[in-house]
Structure 1
Amino acid sequence: MAKEIKIKKNKWFLAFWSLLAIILIMVFSIFFALFSDSYQSKDSRSSIQDSDATFNVVLTRKQVNAISAKFLKEQKIKNLSISADSKQVYVYGDIKFLGSKLNVGVIFDPSVTKNGNVLLKAKKLVAGSMPLPIGTVMSYIKATTDLPSFIGIDSSKKDISINLAKMKTGKLLAFKAKTINLPENKIIFQGGLK
């Protein structure tokens, strides 16, 4: 009788450690997939030609926030929200982590690249009391969100690039960013003929 009990304990012991090993292998595989980021940030030059048809589009933070909300709605991206205030740009979203829903946010400093594209550089992560690396969260967002081809996430550099040169604007017009000045509430894009 004592031998039967010992064998049952050994089966459960082995089953527990096998299950734990499988879970750890799955978690490490997921993190490896998230960190193996193949995106390379490319700063393509805008195809705007200098002509009399060049014009500036001046927007406020409120207008940019409204455009961002409309864009996310049209792209059917429900788990993210984007907003700008007088200092930074905030990207908030819900992510599933080990079966739990976690509300996280990343704070970005926006800038204009030399070729007229927008670069959002991650500065801080807000995830309640759970310490998560910014790169991991950005990799997860990239892996779980179907973003258009002109938006790139580089988790190793902790930035998001918005390549306006690749954005579909029709056959006639193209745009590039000129100024992003959040404290003065002035965001300027230049439009013109391709």
Structure 2
Amino acid sequence: MMNEPEEKKEVKKGNKRRKKAPEVKKSINRWKVAFIVLVALIIGSVAFVFVRVTQVREPNYKPVPELVEKDGTPVIAIQSKKKQINALIDFYLSDFQKGSDITYKFYLENEAMLNGTFKVLGHPIQFYLYFDPYVMDNGNVQLKAKSLSIGTLGLPMKEILKFVQRDYKLPNWVEVNPDDSTILLRLDQFRMQNGLFIRAEKINLVDDDIRMNIYLPKDSDNKKEETN
């Protein structure tokens, strides 16, 4: 049999062993908490990015201009190339975007391309949105979005078009339609300062063949007839 002092020693040893167990649990809990916090931060960051891109701060409602009368006479038929059209677009957008905090570029290669940026957590993210252009029966041009390059962010084209519609300064004859992933160039809403207007006839970017007609407004035709 074990004498009394020896029994007390055994009891003390048992108590010491029991005291160590909570320290292991505590250590495991800290790792669990740290892991949960890390996962929460990742999920929170992703959610913030998505909400920041998709939220509607102030609807960008633009007044729809009156339709331009298309009963004029075509006076100039233009056959151009992408290089010349890109120079015109660049000149127009540079002047149009003066004083704007957010700028973008639009140019033609084998596809039409919109290049811009938006900010995520204070850092600018660059995107390239590619379109196929189609000439419509009324001489307007529809740009159908076909692909998107935006680094590693997996955002759909619809959300980028919502951002463009909401935050970019666009001419009032440009309509962005995120739901069907298109941008409509309403040439029937666009007039030059002297009243001339444009009608697209053909756009073939692969063969570098772009054709359009310039029209005199209907009023000019009537004045000519009265003069004669």
Give yes or no for TM over 0.5.
Answer: yes
Q: TM-score, normalised by structure 1?
A: 0.75
Which of 158, 167, 171 in structure 1 is aligned with 2:181?
Answer: 158
Superposed displacement of residue 27, structure 1: 6.3
Which protein has greater RCO, CA pairs closer than 8 Å, 6+ apart? 1
- Paired with 1:29 and 1:82, the residues of 2 have a C-alpha distance of 24
Q: Deviations over 1:154-194 (max 9, x none)?
A: 11111111111111313542211000011121111111211
- Which consecutive residues of structure 2, in runs of 5 or more, have no partner in the other structure? 1-39, 218-228
- Do the aligned partners of 1:88 and 1:182 also contact (CA within 8 Å) in 2? yes
- Per the alignment, residue 113 of structure 1 pairs with 136
Which of 66, 72, 81 in structure 1 is aligned with 2:87?
Answer: 66
- Amino acid of the structure 2 residue aligned with 1:117: N
SS in 2 for 1:143: helix
Q: For residues 48 and 64 of structure 1, do their structure 2 counterparts lie closer, same or farther at Cα, with a shift above 3 Å needed?
A: farther
Number of aligned positions between the proteins: 169
Superposed displacement of residue 100, structure 1: 2.2
- Paired with 2:103 and 2:60, the residues of 1 have a C-alpha distance of 21
Which of 178, 183, 187 in structure 1 is aligned with 2:201?
Answer: 178
Larger Rg: 2
Superposed displacement of residue 56, structure 1: 0.7
- Do the aligned partners of 1:108 and 1:124 also contact (CA within 8 Å) in 2? yes
Q: TM-score, normalised by structure 2?
A: 0.64
Superposed displacement of residue 90, structure 1: 1.1
RMSD: 3.1
- Per the alignment, residue 140 of structure 1 pairs with 163
Higher helix share: 2
- Amino acid of the structure 2 residue aligned with 1:81: K
* Greater shift in the superposed pair: 165-174 or 121-130: 165-174
Alignment identity in percent?
21
- Do the aligned partners of 1:68 and 1:82 also contact (CA within 8 Å) in 2? yes
- Paired with 2:81 and 2:143, the residues of 1 have a C-alpha distance of 17
- Do the aligned partners of 1:135 and 1:155 also contact (CA within 8 Å) in 2? yes
1:1-194 map, 5 Å: 28=51, 31-33=54-56, 47-50=70-73, 54-76=75-97, 79-85=103-109, 87-194=110-217
